[in-house]
A and B are shown apart, each in its own frame.
Chain A
């Protein structure tokens, strides 16, 4: 049965792949078993992250990009993540069908992911799903997020190449994108560059790449008109260049990125544990806060002291 599963995944059998993603996303013992089974298959397709506020046209952009990749005979998996959507995660609404023309193409897999169902935090769920897609032998994995909220920054950090999509007429876009995302961007796209004020956006983007933390890296700025397919080939080329780049020795930035990613993942896992397990000390601290005996900050200090002493004792 396990070998069947491997064969089906490798052949990109849509039903099996769909169900495997659900298992991975949901986590737990089943997901671990699945990951164990597919381990031998895993390769490392580059992961390209895309973010941008709603209305930046990032779905249309990804749609156009998928078309370009298909022309280049590359298979593509797209994970669309929208934890902030009022449609409870899973729903990516219209975005889902901007990509509809690829729906019947066996070389393209598109999946909407919710934040809710995943145990251990969004980014951990997403990384399990990515393992399934790696096992299914896609040439490229595209991750789409709306760029709001810390959990999305975490997801974005899973990407090898990070693309931030902006539009003219909405200078606020750039500010609206969670800081932290702009810092890790590799490519900035000024989409809808046919609109008035496009030049200004491009200037702003060029300025933005001079952020102190970006000094050691080269960030390219590309203008596109996704609805007309303009600039998309160029974007695909830039992405390939960046993908080549990751194979080079990792710099200081990447070390910091890995560290940040790890620490956040630990924090998230601990948060889950503390929220879900029975813990008399936490209960006691909560009671004290509710009774007005201490504030949250004081409770945090007590908790950290308590943890340190416990470790010293053991």
Chain B
């Protein structure tokens, strides 16, 4: 595995909401922590996110949800599995009610970050997850 190169993280928003202040701030923090961030505008659909994750060979996908767009994340988890990208870790940040958080975790989401969570905690967790993802990524040679 290419464990020595910087983690690659896709920071994106799926669904209908566009508020992207949070995802931008987080993307900057991840970059400052030495990660390579692929940042997209909001309103991605699931197929596009899966395609991006493949093309960019990312270790972690961060989904920002300020409205109710996190309700689509279980579908994303399934699509990643179906495409053989089960090793990629997915985290969700934003406004996620407790009931929904349980649903996301059971769908395979690694972590849900709530408002007020420090950037340091987010970067540490994403870094840890990225390394775990690489351990599991299938080798091509």
Asked whether the complex places CB atoms of A and B closer than 8 A, the reply is yes
Chain A residues within 8 Å of B, Cβ to Cβ: 1-2, 5, 14-23, 25-26, 30, 33-34, 37, 86-94, 96-97, 100, 103-104, 109-112, 114, 116-117
Q: Is the CB of A26 within 8 A of B2?
A: yes
Which of B34-42, B66-74, B97-105, B112-120 is the contact stretch? B34-42
Q: A313 to B52, alpha carbons, bound, how many Å? A: 55
Q: A1-B141, A88-B36, A100-B40 are in contact. Are A22 and B5 (CB under 8 A)?
A: yes
Q: Is the CB of B56 within 8 A of A18?
A: yes
**Shortest distance in angstroms between B104's beta carbon and chain A's nearest beta carbon?**
24
Which of B2, B27, B38, B140 has the most CB atoms of chain A within a 10 A radius of its CB?
A: B140
- 15 A-B pairs (CB sep. < 8 Å): A15-B85, A18-B54, A19-B140, A22-B57, A26-B2, A86-B28, A87-B37, A88-B36, A93-B39, A94-B41, A97-B41, A103-B48, A104-B47, A111-B55, A116-B36
Q: A5-B141, A91-B38, A92-B38 are in contact. Are A14 and B2 (CB under 8 A)?
A: no
Q: Which residue of B lies closest to A117 (CB)?
A: B5
Which of A14, A90, A97 has the most CB atoms of chain B within a 10 A radius of its CB?
A: A90
Chain B residues within 8 Å of A, Cβ to Cβ: 2, 4-6, 8, 27-28, 31, 34-41, 44, 47-48, 51-52, 54-57, 83-85, 137-138, 140-141
Q: Which residue of A lies closest to B32 (CB)?
A: A88
Q: Which residue of B lies closest to A20 (CB)?
A: B140
Contacts of A2 in B (CB 8 A): 141
Known: A33-B141, A104-B51, A117-B5. 4 other contacts (CB 8 A): A14-B51, A87-B28, A88-B31, A112-B56
Contacts of B37 in A (CB 8 A): 87-88, 90-91
Q: Which residue of B lies closest to A116 (CB)?
A: B6
Q: A91-B36, A111-B56 are in contact. Are A15 and B83 (CB under 8 A)?
A: yes
**Shortest distance in angstroms between A112's beta carbon and chain B's nearest beta carbon?**
6
Which of A5, A21, A25, A103 has the most CB atoms of chain B within a 10 A radius of its CB?
A: A103
Q: A25 to B138, alpha carbons, bound, how many Å? A: 17
Q: Is the CB of B140 within 8 A of A16?
A: yes
Q: Which residue of B lies closest to A110 (CB)?
A: B55
Query: CB < 8 Å: which of A23, A34, A91, A109 contacts B39?
Result: A91
Q: A81 to B54, alpha carbons, bound, how many Å? A: 18
Q: A37-B141, A89-B36 are in contact. Are A100 and B55 (CB under 8 A)?
A: no
Q: A111 to B8, alpha carbons, bound, how many Å? A: 12
Q: Is the CB of A88 within 8 A of B6?
A: yes
Q: Is the CB of B4 within 8 A of A26?
A: yes
Contacts of B34 in A (CB 8 A): 88
Contacts of A33 in B (CB 8 A): 141
Q: A37 to B140, alpha carbons, bound, how many Å? A: 11
**Shortest distance in angstroms between A38's beta carbon and chain B's nearest beta carbon?**
10
Q: A89 to B52, alpha carbons, bound, how many Å? A: 16
Query: CB < 8 Å: which of B2, B31, B51, B84 contacts A103?
Result: B51
Q: A135 to B83, alpha carbons, bound, how many Å? A: 22
